[in-house]
Amino acid sequence: MLGFIVESNPQELHWMAHPVPEGLVVQAFGQVDAHNESTWERMLGESAAAAPAGSILVVDAGSLDFMSCGALVALAKQAVDSRQQGVTVRLVITLPSIRRVIAGCGMDDAISAHPDVESALNGGSPP
């Protein structure tokens, strides 16, 4: 999966993964909702498996138009599972609406959200 574009449906959800010295950055595009949540979960699992132990997996959702509560639950679950494997999961989001979903779902503490990839990779404090 590294360095390749993987698509479920270009109008809905697709992503690109590329390695960085700190670990792996996965850029997601489109939207994540109940219709493609299983694809999202597969992407998270495959990405986490590709990230080396002791590294960071950054899920860059800055280009997503929509992210459901279910997608955030899957991300929080993957973060817990990955932590047990020595991989830290961080989320990049830019849309205030997705930040509201995180807060509305009560996942402020479960999801490490950052404004950009650089702060996610460098461990900057979430806003």
| Domain 17-119 coded CATH 3.40.50.10090 | no
Question: Pairing relation of β-strands 23-32 and 5-9?
Answer: unpaired
pTM: 0.86
Task: Kindly list the distances between the CA atom of residue 52 and the CA atoms of 12, 16, 21, 81, in Å, as whole numbers in the listed order.
Answer: 28, 17, 10, 14
- Interval 85-118: pLDDT, tens: 999 999 999 888 888 878 888 888 889 899 999 9
Residues 6+ apart with CB under 8 A from 42: none
Phi/psi at 2 (nearest 5 deg)? -65, 130
pLDDT digits (tens, 9 = 90+) for 51-84: 999 999 999 999 998 888 899 999 999 999 999 9
**Euclidean distance between CA atoms 81 and 85, whole angstroms:** 7
Q: Where are the domains of the chain?
A: 17-119
**Tokens 């960071």 — which residue?**
56
